[in-house]
A and B are shown apart, each in its own frame.
Chain A
Amino acid sequence: MSVEATDHYSNCTHCGFCLAVCPTYILTGDENNSPRGRLRLWSEEAAGKIPRDEWTDFYTSECVGCLACETACPAHVPYGELFEHTRHDHVATHRSHPSPAIRLAAHAVTHQSLFNLAMLPARMMRNLGLTPHPFLLPGKPALLKSTAGYARELMRAKKPTGPRVALLTGCLMEAMFRDINFATVRVLIENNCQVITPENQTCCGTFQEHTGLEGVEALREQNRRAFGPLDVDAIVSNSSGCGYSLAKTLAPNKPVRDVLTFLGDLDLKKREPRSTTARLYVDLPCHLVHGQKAPGIPANVLDATGIPWALAPNAKDCCGSGGVYNLDKPENARAILSAKSAFLNEAEGDPVILGTANHVCMMQWHSAGATGLVTRPYEVKHVIQLLDPGEGFALTPV
C-alpha cells in the first residue's frame, strides 16, 4: 500500500456514520464487515499493527463496492479509491483468487468484437424469449448490427441539429443488451441530439475494477484516446457504473454524464400514457447516486415516461448486484436483494415496472422474480426504454 493511500486513512475520524448505510454491516452485524472496520483493518496492516491475515482478505472480499459509505462520510474518506487499490493489491499478491470464469470474462471484454461474437447465442436466446438463467432478461437485441452502425443510419435519416453527444456503448451492454443501446440512440436522436459513437472506444474498465484484475489502465488509456480529443457537448453513458468509471478516466478534462441526467436538461419528448393502471417504481443505482453523486434520476425524465412513478423504498440502497458481486457472493447478494425487493410482492399497479439505470442492477432485479423472491409478475426496464419512441421511429418521416 502506497504512502499516499495510507495517508487517506487518517481522514477517518471513526465517527461510525457509514455503518448505518453499509449493506454488509446491516447483514452481518460484524464491525469488521463495515466501511469503518475495513478501513481499520487496511490501515492497521499498512502500519504493521496487525499481521497479514486471511480475515482481512475475507472482509475485503465481502464489500459490495456500493459506495454508500462515501456519501455518508462527513470526513470525505475516499473509500472507493482505497477499496479499489486494496482489491487490486490482494489479487496481485494472491490473497484473492478470482474464479477462472471471471478471469476469462475480464479478458473477453477487452476484445469487443470477439466478445460480441461469443455473446451471439445469448442475444439469440433473448430474442427467442429463452431466458433460462435468472440474470438473463427478456429483450430483442439486434443480432449483428452494432450500436455504432445503427446510430450512423439513424443520424443520416433524421439529421438532428442539437447538442453533439458521444455515447459509451460498453462491453456487456453492446454484446448482450444492445437493445438498450439502440433505445438510447433513438431517444437522443428523437430529442434532436447528434449521436457520435467513437469507433475505437472500449470497455470502461469497471469489470477490472470490480475484480481487482490487471488491465484497467490499458482500457482507460484507450478510452482517453477515443473520447479525449472529441469536440462534443457531452459524453454520456446509459449504465451508471460504466459512466462512473469513464468519468474517473476522463477527469478532470471531460465530464461524463449519465444519459438520464443529461436528458433532464432538455425539453423532453413525452411518451403517451401506456395504461391507467401501470406503475413505475424507480430504483437508483449506487454508482449513479453514490459514485457519480447525482441526486437521482431527474423528475422531468421520469414524468416523460407517461407512467405514474414513485421511488422504490430505500431507492438509494444497494440491490446487491455490485458488478460481479452477485456471482462472487451469491448468498449475500440474495439476502440484500431479498430485503430490497420484498415491496414488489405487494406493490400496486398492473403492470408493475421496476425502472433503473444500470444493466447489472437490471439483471439482479430480474433474478428476484426468477428465483422466487418476488412471486408476482413484474417487468424490469431501463428508464431509457420507457422513453423509447420504438423501432418504428426509424421509419417515421423527419
Chain B
Amino acid sequence: MLRQLQSLITRGRVLTSPAQLAGYSADGLGYKRFMPDAVVIPADADELVAFMRGAKSVGVPVILRGAGTSLSGGPVAAQGGVVVHTSSLKRIREINVEGFWCEVECGVALNDLDAALKPHGVFYPPDPSSGPVCTLGGNIASNAGGAHCFRYGVTSNYVLGVEAVMLDGSVHRFGGPAGGHGPWREDWKRFMIGSEGTLAAFTRFWLRLLPLPEKVWTFRATYPDLRSIEAAIHALVAHPAYPAAIEMIDPRGVAMVEGSQMACGLPKGSFMLLTEIDGPAALVDARVQSIAKLLRDAGSDDVVFSDDEPTRMKLWKARKAAGGLMGQLSADFVVQDAVIPKRALAEVLQLVYDEADAAGIPAVNIFHAGDGNLHPNFLFNSRKPGDLEKVEHISKALMKRVIEVGGTLSGEHGIGNDKAAYMPLVFGPDSMRLQLAVPAAFNPAHQLNPLKVLEARRFVA
C-alpha cells in the first residue's frame, strides 16, 4: 500500500510509521482512538484529485480530515484506512466584495477567512466556537452552526457552490459564485453540505458574504436559577430586536471560566446568558436599554453590556473557549448535540442534571440556547471501568426525552461514528433506508468515511 500511496502522492507527504499515525488517531473526542493505516497530506488540490482517482485501487477506507475538531468521531479511521489531511489547501483564492462572495480552498481556517474579510467590510456569518482552527471543509461537511446562527442561520445558508471530487477522480462543481444549481438540474450542493465526508472530497467553495453590521452591542447577564434564565431566553426570542445570538453557560461552566485566564468576575453558582444585537447604529443604539431591561426583568441584577470591540471580544472569549475548558476537570468527555423546542429547555436540562447526578457523572452545559441546541458535556474517566457505560446510559435517557418533546439528535456537530448508534432512535426504518441510499449512490462500497452516520455503512473491499 505504501508504494501505491507514494505513487499517488509525490509532492505531498505519506505517513505510515506508528508515531506518524498516532497524531491522527482521534478528533475532538480525544479518548476515542482509531489508528489509521496511513495518512496522506496532498500538496494541493491537483494531488488530492490524483489521489482520489487512484483511491479505489488502494482498496481501503478513505477519510477526509480538516482540523480534526469534530466532536462526533467524524474524521477518524473507524474502519482503518487512509486519512487525507487537507492542511495544505489553505488558499483564499478570491474575495469579491462587489458580488459579496469569496472562493476558498477547503483547508482554510475559519478565523483566517474572517480576518481576511474584515478589512473589506464583509463577513461570513457561521461561527462555530472552534473558529481559530476548524476548516471550511470540515464546516461544510458538518453543516456547522455557531452562536450567531440563531439569527443568521447555519453554514448551508452561505454556501453558493462546492467543488467535489468523487472516488473515481471526477471533479464536479455544484453551484458556483452565482449560487443556484450550477450545471445540474437539482440543487445537489445541498446533498454535499453536511455529508460528513461520506459522498465526496471537497476541494473548494464559493461562499456568500454579508456586509459587516454597522454597530454591535454584546450583553452578559447572570441568573440565580434555571427558571429565571429560561424566562430571559423566551423573552429575548420574542423581542423585536431579534438578537443575533443567545448563548448560555451553566454554573459548572461558569466555575471553569472563572478558573481560567478568561475569568471575568462571574458570580459563583450563576447561570450566564450572552446575547448580542447588531445592525444600523441608530436602530441598535435605540434598543440597548430595552434589552437590558428585559434581562433585568427576568431576574438578573448583574447585566453588563458594551459596544466596545475589545470588551465585547472578552465577553465572547469565555464562551468560545468553553469547550476546551473541560480539560480543567476531565479530558475525557462526551458532548451531546440534541436540538429541542425551546419551551422544553428547563425540563430537559433538569433531566440532564438529575440523570448525571444519579450516576455520579459531572455534566456541564454550555450551549446555543436561542436555537434550543443543547450541548451537555458528560465528563468521565476513560480509564475507569463502567464510566463510559454510565454516560451512554444517560445519553440514551436524554435522547428518549428529546424525541418525546419533539426534538432531534444533532444540531451541528454531525453524527459521525459517535452518534450513529442513536440514529435508529430518531429515524424509522424507511427513513434509514432512504438515508443510506444517498451515500450508496455516490460510493456503493462505502469506501468514503465508512461506519459514519449510519452503522450499516461498512466498507467491503
Contact = CB atoms under 8 A, between A and B. Distances in A.
B325 A55 contact: no
A32 B20 contact: yes
A74 B327 contact: yes
Interface string A39-53: 011001100011101
B336 interface: no
Contacts of B92: none
Contact of A20 (B25, B111, B261): B111
Interface residues of A, number: 39
A10 B24 CA distance: 17
B178 to A, nearest CB: 32
Interface in A144-167: none
B41 A29 contact: yes
Nearest to B87: A29
A44 B325 CA distance: 22
B331 A40 contact: no
B17 A55 contact: yes
A37 B18 CA distance: 12
A108 interface: no
A194 to B, nearest CB: 34
A73 B328 CA distance: 10
Contacts of B260: 74, 76
Contacts of B261: 71
A31 B85 contact: yes
Contact of B133 (A13, A17, A51, A55): A17
B41 A20 contact: no
B326 A40 contact: no
A14 interface: yes
Interface in A74-104: 74-77
A15 B41 contact: no
Contact of B19 (A19, A53, A76, A77): A53
Contacts of B372: none
Given A10-B331, A12-B327, A13-B323, A41 B19 contact: yes
A301 to B, nearest CB: 21
A215 B108 CA distance: 44
A61 to B, nearest CB: 13
Interface string B123-165: 0000000101110000000000000000000000000000000
A25 B107 CA distance: 13
Interface string B255-272: 000001110000000000
A40 B130 contact: no
A169 B24 CA distance: 45
Query: Which of B68, B88, B90 has most A Cβ within 10 Å?
Result: B68
Given A11-B331, A17-B132, A29-B41, A74 B325 contact: yes
Given A15-B69, A41-B19, A31 B24 contact: yes
Given A15-B323, A29-B41, A76-B328, A20 B24 contact: no
A274 to B, nearest CB: 31
A140 to B, nearest CB: 41
A253 B201 CA distance: 56
A13 B23 contact: no
A12 B331 contact: yes
Given A30-B15, A30-B87, A13 B324 contact: yes
A319 B412 CA distance: 37
A32 B39 CA distance: 11
Nearest to A13: B327
Contacts of B22: 32, 37, 40-41, 44, 49-50
A13 B331 contact: yes
Contacts of A30: 13, 15, 20, 23, 41, 85, 87
Contacts of A75: 324-328, 331
Nearest to A11: B327
Nearest to B69: A16
Contacts of B109: 20
A194 B28 CA distance: 53
Contacts of B424: none
A55 B22 CA distance: 11
B27 A32 contact: no
Interface residues of B, number: 46
A49 B107 CA distance: 30
Contacts of B333: 13
A20 B108 CA distance: 11
B26 interface: yes
A145 to B, nearest CB: 43
A50 B18 contact: yes
Nearest to A56: B19
Interface string A208-243: 000000000000000000000000000000000000
B324 A74 contact: yes
Interface in B63-113: 67-69, 85, 87-88, 90, 107, 109, 111
B121 interface: no
Nearest to B262: A74
A37 B23 contact: yes
Query: Which of B17, B20, B29 has most A Cβ within 10 Å?
Result: B20
B321 interface: yes
Contacts of B67: 16, 19
B324 A50 contact: no
Query: Which of B17, B19, B26, B68 has most A Cβ within 10 Å?
Result: B19
A34 interface: yes
Contacts of B33: 49
Contacts of A9: 331
A36 interface: yes
Contacts of B17: 53, 55
B213 interface: no
A51 B18 contact: yes
B30 interface: yes
B15 A32 contact: yes
B109 to A, nearest CB: 6
Query: Which of B23, B107, B130, B330 has most A Cβ within 10 Å?
Result: B23
A349 B349 CA distance: 59
Contacts of A73: 324, 327
A59 interface: yes
Nearest to B131: A20
Nearest to B29: A14
B85 A29 contact: yes
Contacts of B130: 15-17
A40 B327 contact: no
Nearest to B134: A16
Given A14-B29, A15-B69, A59 B327 contact: no
A31 B18 CA distance: 13
Contacts of A72: 132
B28 A14 contact: yes
Interface of A: 9-17, 19-21, 25, 29-32, 34, 36-37, 40-41, 44-45, 49-51, 53-56, 59, 71-77
9 closest cross-chain pairs (CB), A and B: A75-B327, A14-B30, A29-B87, A74-B324, A37-B23, A53-B19, A15-B324, A32-B23, A55-B19
25 contacts: A12-B30, A14-B26, A14-B30, A14-B331, A15-B130, A16-B28, A16-B130, A21-B132, A29-B87, A29-B107, A40-B23, A51-B18, A53-B18, A53-B19, A54-B19, A55-B20, A56-B19, A74-B262, A74-B321, A74-B322, A74-B324, A75-B324, A75-B331, A76-B327, A76-B328
Given A37-B23, A76-B328, 17 more contacts: A12-B331, A13-B28, A13-B324, A13-B326, A13-B331, A14-B27, A14-B331, A20-B133, A29-B41, A29-B107, A30-B41, A31-B68, A32-B20, A32-B22, A41-B22, A74-B328, A75-B331
